[in-house]
Amino acid sequence: MTQARGQGTEPGGGERDREDRDRAATVRVFIALAPPDAAKDELERELRRAYDAYPRMRWNRIEDWHITLAFLGELPVGTVPLLGPPLADLAASRGPVELALRGGGHFDERVLWSGIDGDVDGLHRLATDVRGVVKECGIPFEDRPLRPHLTLARARRDDPSSVVDVAAGLAGFTGRPWRAEKLHLVASDFGRGPGPIRYRDIEAWTFDGR
């Protein structure tokens, strides 16, 4: 039998091809700060017992830990470069933000996080300015209130108690202060495959203001 033009060799093949093309034409983007290695190492040591006790949790890679300032979602690939120059200008005009990691908690018994301490007011001002840049670029996004946190892991659907238990164990954690030295424009492969979520810097700018 002759195969009709445009049909895949398997049911739904054409739909999957379209989804792959759509994903190739967009990128999932957010703007964030990243703790320095020393701060991440400190929290990693605090979490070692939890890593051993709860191996089924979907732990984020330590090198991917970040504090989201603005989540932009799926953007057309050609739109992303618009953000570069104004974000570079913003970073050049600002000094580093003094922060620390402290305690832990969870969202809906599914997402485990560490809290943020230090110059939280300065963090909110920076997030407001970052979101202003995005709006000035004409890029629509969901402007949710900032809840500063560092996402550590996600529970599997059949194991919500793990996140609650680990969050309780982090309650007394107080990390040493550190300086957020750079503003990061980040891409995520969330939802693009069965493996762990991966992040990569599209670009990053040093805070040069004093």
Q: How many residues does the chain have?
A: 210
The confidence score (pLDDT) of residue 52 equals: 95
Neighbour-count burial of 158, counting CB atoms closer than 10 A to its CB (0-12 exposed, 13-18 middle, 19+ buried): exposed
Question: Nearest 5°: phi and psi at 81?
Answer: -60, -20
Give catalytic residue positions. Answer: 66, 149
Chain segment 53-63, per-residue pLDDT in tens:
999 999 999 99
- Could you tell me which residues are beta bridge partners of residue 182? 206
- Give tens-digit pLDDT for 49-97: 999 999 999 999 999 999 999 999 999 999 999 999 999 999 999 999 9
Residue 7: partners with Cβ closer than 8 Å, 6 or more residues away: 13, 14
Rounded distance, CA 129 to CA 121, Å?
13
pTM: 0.83
Residue with tokens 């995520």: 188
Residue with more model confidence, 158 or 185: 185
Q: What is the pLDDT of residue 121?
A: 97
